[in-house]
Chains A and B, each alone.
Chain A
Amino acid sequence: MKKESAIQIDKLTVAYEAQPVLLNISLAFKKGKMTAIVGPNGAGKSTMIKAMLGLVEPVTGEVVYQDVDQEAVSYKELKNRIAYVPQNTSVDWDFPTTVRDVVLMGRYGHLGWFKRPKNKDREIARQMLLKVGLPSFASRQISQLSGGQRQRVFLARALAQEADVYIMDEPLAGVDMKTEHIIMKLLKQLVAEGKTVLVVHHDLQTVEEYFDDIVFINQEVIAAGPVDETFDKQTVKKTYHRDRNLGEGE
């Protein structure tokens, strides 16, 4: 069991204020699998991801990753091996930068402090832009893109990180069928290469088609496991209609 899990969350509790948003979460994400993270709005999906990335400080609990030698390490030691695409990338779209430049930023982590991108990095950025189907947009200023195109640029940036773990917070929100197919094809390719992919997902219709594993979350872990064993009406109902007496206000 330990060998095949790429990420292990152990008794994680997170609170922004007095109320806990996540309570005692324990989970393992399998290596080389695509896992859906499912739950209603406000369930704590994004919060869990942020805690996994050290972007919010948990109250208790820890997250361990597995490195190349299958040793357990913390997030800090593995930063360059993890790519993250947030739910809303709230950048200044008028920033003086081109699509090509943004994708190239995906290489910065590998370069480390002070080093400049090399031709190899530019080539990788170019290929990733090709993969997401935006090669002809390379020199555009980023404000001159549609919402779906913007999302694909940030996907290309994550791909350019050439990570082992990809964490995507709702990559399919607000994209059309065509873009959804492009994105899913790319994610499947990553999984085929043995990478671990976590996706926060809202469309329950496509869960069976897209994912290997699923995690139901609503403040606590409701259920977790392979889709064909875990994904059923009852669990969905339990997740979405849970009485959240510990959660929301009052």
Chain B
Amino acid sequence: MLIELFTILSDYTFQLVALGTGIIGLLSGVIGTYATLRKESLLGDALSHAALPGIGLAFVMIQRKELLFLMIGAIVSGLIATALIQLITRKTLVKLDSALSLVLSSFFGLGLVVLTAIQNNPNAQQAGLQSFIFGQASAMLQRDVQLIAGVGVILLTLVVLFWKEFKCYTFDPMFSRTLGFSSKVIEFILSMMIVLTIIIGLESVGVILISALLIGPSIAARQWSHRLSRVVILAGLTGFFSGVIGTLVSSMGDNIPTGPVIVVVVSLFVFASLLFAPKQGLIARRIRKREKQKHFLTRLNDLKEGQS
């Protein structure tokens, strides 16, 4: 068993994939924190689903699996979806969450139609376009990991650079505006960061599960701290380890898909945090309630005895 573990750990492919999924997890955790704090957790879901038809159509156009080109397709259809969502919420009485799910499901449906239609194309089968739905981390190449790492460095630099601006804007957008920080600029950078995170995560985790990776780590991290800096760091670490552990678990068996395992690991982190976090966790709160009750009961008894 231990030897087996060592063999896996020293395997180059494993190291590569673990690094790739780890970075994707890290970025999802960090960037996802801003999305959840802005109450936009559904946006990630909508964008990832909306990217699917773009990927399919980009493939139809070039007939090759050129990751960069597929990404451009994903970005374009993601942007169209965002514009549609904004149009619907602004011009009609449909609420944001309904608009999101409307666009999400129709784009996803369209994406499935396109993918199914090109399934018979031998190129498409070879390219494994289906992997975008559930993800296929094991197919990650060195080139992919380099791209992921490059995007990662850029995104993390932006987070550090705009730390104060993002924090203030996420907390109180109107105040940030009155201070003279352009909301258009901040909004644009934040949305671009989410779109990029989703797109680099798409191939390995897939359309359906990427939003769990965006939301989960920040929810887990929020249980442990009241400070944004710590929440962001903890969310990043949670995402990173979920990626690495998920990849490890899936390498131990023959037919265990990586993306879903990663999401299961994230969920375990979330449940553990909800239960065991020192201040806000369910167990800590239960214990505190007990102590309080005991404390007040004795005081009430003292009062009663004093009276009689």
Q: Tell me the A residues contacting B by CB distance below 8 Å.
A: 53, 55, 76, 79-80, 82, 84, 86, 89, 91-92, 95-98, 101-102, 105, 108-109, 111, 113-117, 141, 157
Q: How many angstroms from the CA of A92 to the CA of B36 in the assembled complex?
A: 11
Q: Are B37 and A95 in contact (CB under 8 A)?
A: yes
CB distance from A81 to the nearest CB of B (A): 11
**Which of A79, A84, A96 lies at the interface centre, i.e. has the most chain B CB atoms within 10 A of its CB?**
A96
> Do A92 and B178 touch (CB < 8 A)?
no
CB distance from B42 to the nearest CB of A (A): 16
B178 & A96 in contact (Cβ 8 Å cutoff): no
Q: Are A92 and B175 in touch, CB under 8 angstroms? A: no
Please name the residue on chain A nearest to B279 by beta carbon: A141
User: How far is A119 from B81 in the complex, measured between Cα atoms in Å?
Assistant: 45
Is the Cβ of B172 less than 8 Å from the Cβ of A114?
no
Question: Is A108 a contact partner of B171 (Cβ separation < 8 A)?
Answer: no
A97 B228 Cβ-Cβ under 8 A: yes
A76–B177 Cα gap in the complex (Å)?
A: 11
B171 touches A55 (CB 8 A): no
Residues of B within 8 A of A111 (CB): 164
B224 to chain A, nearest CB (A): 10
Interface positions of B (Cβ within 8 A of A): 37, 39, 161-165, 167-168, 170-172, 174-181, 222, 225-228, 230-231
Q: State whether A96 and B228 are in contact (beta carbons under 8 Å apart), knowing that A53-B178, A105-B171, A108-B179 are contacts in the complex.
A: yes
Name B171's contact: one of A80, A97, A116 (CB within 8 Å): A97
10 contacts across the A-B interface (CB closer than 8 A): A55-B174, A55-B178, A79-B178, A82-B178, A84-B178, A95-B171, A105-B172, A108-B181, A113-B165, A114-B161
Of the candidates A79, A86, A114, A117, which one forms a contact with B174 in the assembled complex, judged by CB atoms under 8 Å apart?
A86
A70 CB → nearest B CB, Å: 22
With contacts A89-B172, A95-B37, A97-B171 known, is A113 near B181, CB below 8 A?
yes
Would A92 and B37 count as touching, CB distance under 8 A?
yes
User: Which 7 A/B pairs are nearest by Cβ-Cβ distance?
Assistant: A109-B179, A79-B180, A141-B226, A96-B231, A96-B228, A91-B172, A95-B171
Are B177 and A55 interface neighbours, CB within 8 A? yes
Closest Cβ of chain A: how far from B200's Cβ, in Å?
26
A99–chain B nearest beta-carbon distance, Å: 10
- Determine the distance from Cα of A86 to Cα of B165 in the docked complex, in whole angstroms: 20
Known: A95-B170, A96-B225, A105-B172. 16 other contacts (CB 8 A): A55-B174, A82-B178, A91-B171, A95-B37, A95-B228, A96-B227, A96-B230, A96-B231, A97-B167, A97-B228, A98-B226, A98-B227, A105-B171, A108-B179, A113-B181, A114-B164
Which residue from A82, A92, A117, A157 sits with its C-beta under 8 Å from B164? Answer: A117
What chain B residues lie within 8 Å of A80 (beta carbons)?
A: 179-180
Chain A neighbourhood of B231, CB < 8 A: 96
Residues in A with CB closer than 8 Å to B176 are 108
Closest to B225 in A: A96
How many angstroms between the C-alpha atoms of A67 and B3 in the bound complex?
74
Among B162, B163, B179, B227: residue with most chain A CB under 10 A:
B179
